[in-house]
Amino acid sequence: MRVAVVDIGTNSTRLLVADVQDGRVTQEVERQSRVTRLGQGVDATGALAQEAMDRVFAVLRDYRRLIDALEVERTIAVLTSAARDASNGPEFTQSVRDRYGLDARTIPGAEEAALTFLGATSERDATTTTTDIAVIDIGGGSTEVVVGRGDGVSFFVSMQIGVVRQTERHLHTDPPKPDELAALATEVEAIIENEVPEDIREGATAAIAVAGTATSAGAIELALDPYDPDRVHGHRMTLGRLEELLARLAQMANEQRREVVGLHPDRAPTIVAGVAVLVEVLRAFGLEEVEISEHDVLRGAALRRAAAH
């Protein structure tokens, strides 16, 4: 069965077209991602900006044409943090459904977490995953941490931490000042400690990071130009290397970051906050390494949609 999933996030709008058979993705037919920054200003105003919605609509027009050309059998569009938080989120979701013929809905953080864990662990042998794995999904407006093993999820949380949210709150100069970075780190550390119990943090023995921050960090370390998802998927980065990367990126102005090999220019404004959040999550969990995965909520939603009757 050919399934199309559109993920309308706070920072990017992504498409996955995949063939699914017997509960597994047999082929990724198409994958695209465009930075649309739907969450622009939501933290301050509480509403989606018209220009931000228009950026998403422009991308969805292209995606709809591609979905039709690829003869997709089932579609789904999932909307996450920005749409959840915004006062006009329901109207925006309805517009996506009506204009583009997508089975669109805003999903709660708990469902986003479950789909992310499903996607990130779908290729692992459940019978051999006997220790807790923390899956980290850093988005534009929220960060999901999902802990589980082969028999399923044992803990999840959707925290109000994201690359757009924390950039807008804390990083007001270019490049950011040390006190701004310190304030961001302090806030993120406090949120994690408040929302993730100590025994959960101490119990996880490994971490998988998904989505744009993690894949960008991997691509930068590997100096990929052009981007190669096969090389990024499964790449491991130590906490020390991420700390070095954070220091390097934070010393650059935005225009300099746009030239960094491996980093998409559109992610330059938010990558410092993203790497800072990833560093703080690993520190909070006492983990020295993270595996980067290309398989995330998109793959989880594709598997779920294919299984639905």
**What are the extents of the domains in the chain?**
2-110, 123-293
> Is-same-fold flag (2-110; 123-293)?
yes
Dist. CA 132–CA 123, nearest whole Å: 16
Q: Please provide the CATH number assigned to the domain covering 123-293.
A: 3.30.420.150
Instruction: State residue 198's pLDDT score.
Output: 96
What is the length of the chain?
A: 309
Only one residue has tokens 């744009």, namely 212
Q: Say what the pTM is.
A: 0.86
CATH class for the domain made up of 2-110: alpha beta
Q: Which residue type, as a one-letter code, is found at position 158? A: S
DSSP track, the chain: -EEEEEEE-SSEEEEEEEEEETTEEEEEEEEEEEE--TTTTHHHHSS--HHHHHHHHHHHHHHHHHHHHTT-SEEEEEE-HHHHH-TTHHHHHHHHHHHH---EEEPPHHHHHHHHHHHHHTTS-TTT--S-EEEEEE-SS-EEEEEEETTEEEEEEEES--HHHHHHHH--SSSPPHHHHHHHHHHHHHHHHHHS-HHHHHH--EEEEESHHHHHHHHHHTT-SS--HHHHTT-EEEHHHHHHHHHHHHTS-HHHHTTSTTS-GGGTTTHHHHHHHHHHHHHHHT-SEEEEES-SHHHHHHHHHHH--
Q: What is the pLDDT along the chain (309 residues), one digit of tens a residue?
A: 999 999 999 889 999 999 999 888 999 999 999 989 999 998 889 999 999 999 999 999 999 999 999 999 999 999 988 899 899 999 999 999 999 999 999 998 888 888 889 899 888 765 556 789 999 999 888 898 999 987 678 999 989 999 999 999 999 999 999 999 999 999 999 999 999 999 999 999 999 999 899 999 999 999 999 999 999 999 999 999 999 999 999 999 999 999 999 999 999 999 999 999 999 999 999 999 999 999 998 999 999 998 875
Four-point Cα dihedral 265, 41, 116, 191, nearest 10: 110
The whole-angstrom separation of Cα 7 and Cα 75 is: 11
